[in-house]
Structure 1
Amino acid sequence: MSAAQGSNLPLPAFYVQVLHSLVPIFDDTLSLSDLKTQEILSTALDNLHLISRMLSSLGVFSDNESLDEVGDGELVFMTVPWVLGECEAKAGLGGRDNRIAALRRSDTAINAFLHLLNSYKVLSPDEEAESSAMANGVPKDPARRREAKIRAYKREKELREFISASVPDQPDPTSSPLVFILSCLPRQGQSNGSTSVNEEEPDTRRTILLILRLLHTLALALLASTAMELELLVSAPAEISELPQEQRGSEIDNTWKLDRTPAGYKPRELISGGGRVLRPFTILPSTSGLSDRERLRGEVFRESWRLPSMTIDEYLEEEKRRGNIITGGGQASYDAPTSSELLALAAEQDGAIAGEEKEEQKRLKEENWAQYTEVNPRGAGNRMNRG
């Protein structure tokens, strides 16, 4: 649905149609890397920006108002900046610069959502304190970050259960927040010319406030992940297409890794011919049994320092090349016939030329052994240096 088509609908119905188009994306039913998914996101973003402009032109929200002055029909539209920020965070997959721009737009929308909640005093004192702390950035102390995540997880679970119990259809508590928002809007196909929604439900206002508090918890988590991703992208090297023309060339490596192996590196250069370690290296787990997802994850989340490395397969291959691995042995080697037994079996082939040759080889071997034992009797070499 284009923005021009949606502008002919009442604002609640227009918002309902936009949210319905986004539900499969927020439920992870559609892959974000799919071109069709990105097209849906792009259309939804245009419509959400149009809704945001319509709300501003109508003066629905004002810093001079209190929460009691906002009707139920207008209160549900406080969710628009959060949906806008989430959509921006899921878009911008066309390159490094596009992704950075999308994340910054998401950050702007989420901060506008938090400012709206703070100005209308929707949050509890503890939630307002967390919003103020997030304005100073993600805590550097790992213990504090862990405590904040635990508090957010418990609050999110509690709010989801409250919302699910208060909604008439009682959706699953793990449902997408869009499902909760849609429960407070007119159902698709229902005409409603006013800005009020579900006026017949006395608990609608309480449900909307619970949804806004849930979105606040999710918004803080999104801000933290956006800040970390932006830090990584800003510090990453520019792509070839983003470099000046004179710096482009066929030898430029446009792959970015935290641990880049030097050019021309070979595993045997880490160990000398005598077995001496020439420089430090790390033995990594074998990658032969890993899936593509696990292998790619292992290439990203690794040490931040640059260190030559080899897998276990490469290490064993190098040791085998240097002759440090002995093959054979075990029960199979014990059960295999010896050379004398094989020669005796071959000599039993009566009437065959090969059998006669093997029989002659067996006779010569036994004769040589008899001569050796005659010259070297048992115990002759064990005289304890007594001559």
Structure 2
Amino acid sequence: MSTLALPSEGMSLGQLFQTGRQQAQEIQSSSLSFRDPDYQRMVEHLALFSANETIDDVTTAHLPYILVQAYLGQVVVRLAGQDRKSLLLRARAYYTHFYHLCDDYGLVADEDKAHFKAIEENISFNAARAREDNIARYKRQKETTQKLQTLEEKLTQAALNNQDPEDAQREHTLLLIDSHVQQCLQELQFIQDELKILAMRGAQPPTSATDVDHDRLDMDRDRGRLTERTGPLLSDKSQVRRPFVITNKREELRAGVFKPSWRLPTMSVDQYLELERERGGIIEGGGQGPSEDNGEREAQLDADEQAQDAETMKQRQWDDFKDDNPRGWGNRQGKG
């Protein structure tokens, strides 16, 4: 396989694949538009992959060519052109072909199969379910990227130590395919959403030239009215451009010449007191003075307090006497 080369390019399949891969990665990080399907035709011509094989039957050197359709989809979906719908359909065909090829070799996880089925059948989930799925896919993609970086470091170290990196290279390629399967499903979802937007845009009736002319005339008319109201009074030739009243501003300025600098009251003191009286803020008249009944009641209360104090003192004296003279004290029990 390494000796097969294109007559026009003079490059082998492996060299062409590596070149296309590098250019595809450069395109993803730039605004350039590029597509080169030569290595795709070579892969199809050589028939490197068969539905009767398993992934163990594919050699490590041939594993990277499974990614051809994925790289083509990444390039085409970033092309800018007038017929955006055709580009999206073409990119979707590349991604779908790549997904089915990986599925035939058993390289698609169960969660990815469920995701592809939801996209294919246009199944929509609620916001909470969609958010959970997006978070789970993001975490999985992040873990895959970290594993790829670890394997790349291992491959670099093996190359420096002149070790055979075939096992690590195969593991790295399979993990890279899994990463592109995840990206493929994400791109398919984006393509489907963009196709819906294009369909909605195409359903809108086109704007005729007559409507555009009418809108432009209305805008010019409104702009002219605004200029008449806010523009200068006189033109360059001293012609009056809009009506005005000369005495308006003069009278306003005259009224403000002898105007005091402080704020004048809006009502008199009597008016303010009358307003407060209506609100209930002013109490008129005095309160009730002390009556005879109140005096008698107070005298009776004082007498009751004095009597209560006298009774209390009597009880205290009796308690003191009992303390000083216990019961039976001084009884000689008949001894005379």
Which category describes the TM-score, using the shorter chain as reference length? 0.5 to 0.7
Unmatched segments (≥5 aa) in structure 1: 172-197, 254-260, 266-337, 343-377
Note the C-alpha offset of 1:54.
Answer: 1.1
Unmatched segments (≥5 aa) in structure 2: 157-162, 220-257, 263-267, 276-336
Q: 1:102 to 1:81 in 2, by over 3 A?
A: same
Residues 5-39 of structure 1: CA distance to partner in whole angstroms, max 9, x if unpaired?
A: 87420111111112222333212xx2x3xxxx12x
In the alignment, what sits opposite 1:94? 81
8 Å contact from structure 1 (residues 138, 224) kept in 2? no
In the alignment, what sits opposite 1:67? 55
Note the C-alpha offset of 1:73.
Answer: 1.1
Note the C-alpha offset of 1:251.
Answer: 3.6
8 Å contact from structure 1 (residues 138, 145) kept in 2? no
8 Å contact from structure 1 (residues 117, 123) kept in 2? yes
8 Å contact from structure 1 (residues 6, 14) kept in 2? no
In the alignment, what sits opposite 1:220? 185
2:11 to 2, 9, 12: 9
1:131 to 109, 116, 130: 116
Distance 2:55 2:218 in 1: 66
TM-score of the superposed pair, with normalisation by structure 1: 0.50
2:147 to 138, 147, 162: 162
Residues 163-202 of structure 1: CA distance to partner in whole angstroms, max 9, x if unpaired?
A: 110113789xxxxxxxxxxxxxxxxxxxxxxxxxx97432
Distance 2:155 2:218 in 1: 62
Amino acid in structure 2 at the alignment position of 1:249? A
Distance 2:20 2:7 in 1: 12
Q: 1:167 to 1:139 in 2, by over 3 A?
A: same
In the alignment, what sits opposite 1:24? 26
Aligned length: 222
In the alignment, what sits opposite 2:315? none
Residues 240-262 of structure 1: CA distance to partner in whole angstroms, max 9, x if unpaired?
A: 9xx7xxx9636459xxxxxxx9x
Residues 257-277 of structure 1: CA distance to partner in whole angstroms, max 9, x if unpaired?
A: xxxx9x969xxxxxxxxxxxx
Q: 1:138 to 1:163 in 2, by over 3 A?
A: farther
Distance 2:151 2:46 in 1: 30
Note the C-alpha offset of 1:131.
Answer: 3.0
Please identify runs of 4+ aligned residues in structure 1 that moved more than 6 A: 3-6, 380-383
Distance 2:210 2:190 in 1: 35
8 Å contact from structure 1 (residues 164, 170) kept in 2? no
Higher helix share: 2
In the alignment, what sits opposite 1:78? 66
Root-mean-square deviation over aligned CA pairs: 3.8
In the alignment, what sits opposite 2:199? 234
Q: 1:250 to 1:384 in 2, by over 3 A?
A: closer
In the alignment, what sits opposite 1:57? 45
Distance 1:199 1:12 in 2: 19
Residues 275-301 of structure 1: CA distance to partner in whole angstroms, max 9, x if unpaired?
A: xxxxxxxxxxxxxxxxxxxxxxxxxxx
TM-score of the superposed pair, with normalisation by structure 2: 0.57
Look at both structures and tell me which one has the larger radius of gyration over its CA atoms: 2
Q: Which has the higher contact order (CA 8 A, sep 6+)?
A: 1
Distance 1:146 1:381 in 2: 68
